[in-house]
Chain A
């Protein structure tokens, strides 16, 4: 297991199209997070899963965004009817443990979305 992997690394789509990203976390991690990062900013939290349950969603996650984590393994993030404002890096992270240092999040390399 080499860490968190995300696919695709880059995606260019036309406005109005739907896109789906995949994240494969570190296998023993039960917590999975999605973040969005725009140019010159730090990552912003989108949503969080513990196993297959989606426990937390940011107000940034509009109705056009949906995330799933079937069977508590990989996760997908879908954006419907993409807008130019959706252009960003989408980062996935996973972690284990219940507190302290063990809450360290391991990040994937991200999917860079460009909406034209």
Chain B
């Protein structure tokens, strides 16, 4: 069975600093996708970044990058130059690449950015 593990319940960072949120996953599939979502206090899940299991390059989307280490089964999210608006819950999720399969989420990490 697929599983996502996020071991950091909370992280604290100062504005303009970089922060890494950890995510490890477990799957026996060869083809899968990894996602990161942000959930502010309003409740909506906001897509941040995607990494496919066969992608050779680490994914980047603006200030977000994904440190993908396939052999270690880790997919850590790096946020550069943190902003106050980055304070939120962050969820790592996985889906195998068979069409229609639902996302499996980790428990999340609460990020607090201070000035």
B107 CB contact (under 8 Å) in A42, A104, A105, A112: A42
Stretch of B13-21, B45-53, B62-70 that contacts chain A = B45-53
Question: How many residue pairs, one in A and one in B, have C-beta atoms under 8 Å apart?
Answer: 72
Q: Are A42 and B106 neighbours in the complex by a CB distance under 8 Å?
A: yes
Q: Are A109 and B102 neighbours in the complex by a CB distance under 8 Å?
A: no
Residues of A within 8 A of B101 (CB): 56
Q: Interface residue tally of chain A, by bracket?
A: 20 to 34
Q: A99-B97, A103-B33 are in contact. Are A56 and B102 (CB under 8 A)?
A: yes
Q: Are A103 and B95 neighbours in the complex by a CB distance under 8 Å?
A: yes
Q: Are A45 and B42 neighbours in the complex by a CB distance under 8 Å?
A: no
**How long is the Cα–Cα vector from A104 to B37 in the complex, in angstroms?**
10
B-side interface residues, number (CB < 8 Å): 27
Is A50 positioned at the interface, with any CB of B under 8 Å from its CB?
yes
Is B43 positioned at the interface, with any CB of A under 8 Å from its CB?
yes
**How long is the Cα–Cα vector from A63 to B90 in the complex, in angstroms?**
32
Residues of B within 8 A of A99 (CB): 33, 97-99
Q: Are A104 and B50 neighbours in the complex by a CB distance under 8 Å?
A: yes
Residues of A within 8 A of B98 (CB): 99
Per-residue CB proximity of B13-31 to A under 8 Å, as 1/0? 0000000000000000000
**How long is the Cα–Cα vector from A33 to B45 in the complex, in angstroms?**
13
Q: Are A31 and B106 neighbours in the complex by a CB distance under 8 Å?
A: no
Is A43 positioned at the interface, with any CB of B under 8 Å from its CB?
yes
Which residues does B use to contact A, with CB under 8 Å?
A: 4, 33, 35, 37, 42-47, 50, 52, 91, 93, 95, 97-108
A-B contact pairs, 30 of them (CB 8 A): A33-B103, A42-B4, A42-B106, A42-B107, A45-B102, A48-B100, A55-B100, A56-B100, A56-B101, A56-B102, A89-B43, A91-B45, A93-B103, A97-B99, A98-B99, A99-B97, A99-B99, A100-B97, A101-B33, A101-B50, A103-B33, A103-B95, A104-B47, A104-B50, A105-B47, A107-B44, A107-B45, A107-B46, A109-B43, A110-B43
Give 9 A-B pairs besides A42-B107, A99-B97 with Cβ atoms closer than 8 angstroms: A31-B100, A43-B105, A56-B100, A98-B99, A99-B33, A107-B37, A107-B45, A107-B46, A110-B43
